[in-house]
Structure 1
Amino acid sequence: MSLKQSGNLIIGQSGGATAVINASLVGAVEAALADQRIGNIYGMHHGIEGLLKEDIIDLSNQPNSVWSQLLHTPSAALGSCRYKLQEHDLEHTIEILRRYDIRYMLYIGGNDSADTAHRLAQAAQQANYELWIISVPKTIDNDLPFTDHCPGYGSAARFLAQATQDSTMNTLSIPWHYPVKVIETMGRDAGWLTASAALGKRSADEAPHILLLPEQPFQEANFLTQVEAIYKRLGYVIVVAAEAIRDEKGQALGSAGQAGVDAFHHPLLSGAAQYLVELVKRELKIRARFDKPGDLQRMSSAHISIPDRDEAYLAGKMGVQALLAGESDKMITLVREDQPAYHCTTGLADLSKVANVQRLMPDEYLTEDKTMVTQAFYEYALPLIGEPLVHHTQLEMTRIRR
């Protein structure tokens, strides 16, 4: 397409909200307000599902103070959705866009949102409607291809790394009470988030001791052997497991707790941590418990990574600039520069190559047994979480004897 006319812009947020998704919204709105080629700025209330209902918000006349405050506000200010466009929705969506003279669209989301944006770009082209669509990446799963990392991941990784250290301190205070602890993380098919729990680990004996990633089939006998060996050596074991880990037959652990599927047919899982706890208690006769941070790992405003927030803002801003440059059917990417100090710029990737594609943890980031991360992962992930984590101090247990 060639850029022939000005028009209105609409922005949507989709999928699981993060601690910094609103920073992308702020970056986009502030860039749009500064350019006269964009008329009105609209927001989809609850993503594409809201647009189909013509539930549209005016973003052009918000109080100026809103944007500086939203920059630090977790969750999706516009409201999110998990709606898969049906074939009959495409024509209806284009009709709505025509009616509101919307020529530019930004959709902030992950894999499934990229699919939505790609299908709308194709539908607009088939309908001979001049529409420019850019996808702005967002996912704590960090599994989008062609981008070094995804906005949202750094903050969730920071939360989990710190939470693992903090939770371990409770175990250390009374290790015989529940000497085995399982911390369950989000992460549908990729282990990036689970791996981040190790970012506070400074030695082999420090927690976490075992990582269970969804890419690696769970081997019960190996797991029990490993837990027992660590328990005998240290007196306690901290395991971090993805909610979607599967056995060697591809069956999700604790799948009896599966609560159906979402609109994109992804399983809604619950029960992996409980399964592991019951396994340890039954087979090793060791007391065990689990922690499930749940939404906190996506929403903790106290653990927002400053680089993550800044890059989320940049991705939204560059999304608008890409639209105005005539780019469409693309996703903004983060490009790590080869410099001594960590620095990222942005690029573009074709949505046809992004939609419904996942980037899994590469082997170079995992030890040979696939249950811990390597130095290469630390070098990759530590810059993304911002300021150094809090490392806790323990007393020297020098006992007094008479």
Structure 2
Amino acid sequence: MSEELTGNILIIQDGEPTATVNSTLAGAVTEALNHGCIEEIYGGLNGLRGLMNEEIIDLAEESQQVIRGLRVTPGAALGVSRGAVRRPEEFERILTVLEAHNICFLLIIGDRETIEAGARLSEMAEAKGSSLRVIGMPKSLTNELSVTDHCPGYGSVAKLIATTVKELAVDAASQGNHDLVSILEVGGGHTGWLAAASSLAKRRNEPSDPPHLILMPEVAFSPETFVEQVSQILKTHSYCQIVVGEGLVDSDGNYLATSIPAEMASLPTITSPLVFLRTLLEQHLSIKVQGAQLGSTQRCGSHAASLTDSNEAFLSGQSAVTAAVGGETGKMVTLSRGDTDTYSCETGLASLADIADSSKTFPANWINEDGISISYQFYKYASPLMVGEVTVPFENGTPQFVALVANRVDKRLEAYSMA
């Protein structure tokens, strides 16, 4: 049993926001109020870089109505950094700020880059003999963090993508006459977790449902094969629905956004796989091609958020506080699913250093041999994460979100130059 530590807690959000990252914040604040050893509950504005300049607010002064409202509000209520913290002097400054404000418990909500920073802070604090306890809470649109079964944020973006595919497919079906291609470009960087989520739009045992082609970064793209695949689909379907991950590459490993065939070299600069594919099809097939990019909308669609995802994000925040108060440090909250047929989820802990040193790739055996469809194993993995709907309050016909009052805590140090 560790010795009880008394002091202040500070919570940071950093990295790309998700539809449920504020639910994690709400869970942490709610749990922190239950522990007498926590004297003040602070939030760091604008991520770790904001913390370097002592941008700290008092979260205990926020109303319970606002804290509850965070659970349905997208974005990062505390704000995130522009640019990562990497230099030793930057970490030293953060530790100095934490000491000046008697922060004993530092909770960091973030993606892989943020977790790496958390691991560094924890190691430096320990080397200095500091009593600071650092706990990470996962969040990631791209489901990139290892060790944890899945990341809060992924279930909601998967639900949004699958929903968008269904809506686009209905729209395309009303227009197509064996001459229409609809392309949706999704994010995900160099992994296909987001592109694969589109397969969840298919009904069970209906492999011909849209999307008809899923183009993953893990499968090298062949222009000739692609054109032939689309041509064959249009022979039996009135339209062809395609989903492409932004990190799609050719056989040489070049991103399609920059890999331009010789016959297309005279065309305007290709800026995305969507533009590349549309241009390719218009060159080779006499068809109409329409396209859409989810872009930043995929991370802030609270109207299509998953209740399961929101609840697990909240649980992650609660568990982080419990772990910190219980004496843990240098750890990240993880999610693990039960072994029963009915989906269940529990939290655990893993080393920040272990998570920072690895990432979770999309399993190769979850991609079918045709390279353009996803196996049932992925369906079993991902579909429970999308279950349930978040009830978002509406006012005058639009969603009603909350914002923090954000009462500032007085600075105690000289201003820091971040040049």
Q: Normalised by the size of structure 1, how large is the TM-score?
A: 0.90
Aligned positions of 1:309-324 closer than 5 A: 309-324=310-325
Residue matched to 1:6 = 6
Question: What CA distance in whole angstroms lies between the structure 2 residues aligned with 1:2 and 1:348?
Answer: 16
Residue type of the alignment partner of 2:207: A
Q: 2: distance between equivalents of 1:367 and 1:256?
A: 25
Corresponding position of 2:25:
25
Question: How far apart in 2 are the matches of 1:371 and 1:3?
Answer: 55
1:97–1:61 Cα change, 3 Å: same
> How far apart, CA to CA, are the structure 1 residues paired with 2:111 and 2:179?
37
Give the match for residue 36 of structure 1. Answer: 36
> Is 1:155–2:156 an aligned residue pair?
yes
**Deviation per residue, 1:342-378 (Å, 9 max, x gap):** 1000111111111152211112322112211111111
- Give the drift of 1:4: 5.1
**1:361-401 superposed Cα distances (whole Å, 9 cap, x missing partner):** 1123221122111111111111110149xxxxxxxxxxxxx
Q: Which residue is 2:62 aligned to?
A: 62
Q: Flag the 1:247–1:40 CA change in 2: closer, same or farther, 3 A.
A: same
User: Is residue 12–residue 106 contact of structure 1 (8 Å, CA) maintained in 2?
Assistant: yes
Greater Cα offset, 9-18 or 230-239 = 230-239
> Number of matched residues?
377
- Superposed CA deviations along residues 63-120 of structure 1, whole A, max 9, x for unmatched, are 1211111111111111112432122101111111110010111110111111110111
Alignment of 1:232-311 (within 5 A): 232-255=235-258, 270-311=271-312
Contact kept in structure 1, 2:4 and 2:37, CA below 8 Å: no
Secondary structure in 1 matching 2:60 = coil
TM-score normalised to the size of structure 2? 0.86
Q: Which moved more, 1:120-129 or 1:53-62?
A: 120-129
Contact 1:115 1:351 in 2 (8 A): yes
Q: Against the structure 1 CA distance between its residues 4 and 41, is the aligned structure 2 distance closer, same or farther, given a 3 Å change threshold?
A: same
When residues 84 and 2 of structure 1 are mapped into structure 2, their CA distance, relative to the original with a 3 A threshold, is: farther
Larger deviation, residues 172-181 vs 200-209: 172-181
Contact 1:20 1:308 in 2 (8 A): yes
The 8 Å contact of residues 48 and 83 in structure 1, kept in 2 or not, is answered as no
2-structure distance, mates of 1:302, 1:106: 27
The secondary structure found in structure 1 opposite 2:295 is coil
SS at match of 1:139: coil
Q: How does 1:3-402 map to 2 (within 5 A)?
A: 3=3, 5-85=5-85, 86-176=87-177, 179-202=180-203, 203-255=206-258, 270-387=271-388
Q: How far apart in 2 are the matches of 1:229 and 1:177? A: 10
The Cα shift of 1:134 comes to 0.8
In structure 2, C-alpha distance between the alignment counterparts of 1:3 and 1:96, rounded to whole Å: 24
Contact 1:318/1:332, CA 8 A, preserved across alignment? yes
Q: Secondary structure at the match of 1:255?
A: coil
Deviation at 1:294, TM superposition (A): 1.5
The change in CA–CA distance for 1:360 and 1:188 in structure 2 (over 3 A counts) is: same
Please name the residue that 1:265 is paired with: none
Structure 1 gap ranges (5+): 258-268, 389-402
Q: Contact (CA 8 Å) 2:173, 2:238: kept in 1 or not?
A: no
Q: Name whichever of 103-112 and 209-218 sits farther off.
A: 209-218
Q: Give the fraction of aligned pairs with identical amino acids, expressed as a percent.
A: 35
Unpaired runs of 5+ residues, structure 2, are: 261-269, 390-419
SS of 1:296's partner is: helix
State how far apart, in whole Å, the 2-side matches of 1:377 and 1:4 are: 43
Q: In the alignment, is the contact (CA less than 8 A) between 1:243 and 1:270 conserved in 2?
A: no
- What are the Cα deviations for residues 25-80 of structure 1, in whole angstroms up to 9, with x where unaligned? 01000111110011111111011011011111110111121111111111111111
Distance (whole Å) between structure 2 residues aligned to residue 21 and residue 41 of structure 1: 18
On the 8 A contact 1:111/1:355 being kept in 2, the answer is: yes
Distance 2:57 2:181 in 1: 49
Rounded to whole Å, the distance in 2 between the matches of 1:123 and 1:35 is: 26
Take 1:323 and 1:272, find their aligned partners in 2: how far apart are those partners? 44
1:178 Cα deviation (Å)?
6.5
What is the distance in 2 between the residues matched to 1:345 and 1:270?
A: 42
One-letter amino acid of the counterpart of residue 19, structure 1 = A
Equivalent AA in structure 1 for residue 146 of structure 2 = P
Q: CA RMSD in A?
A: 1.8
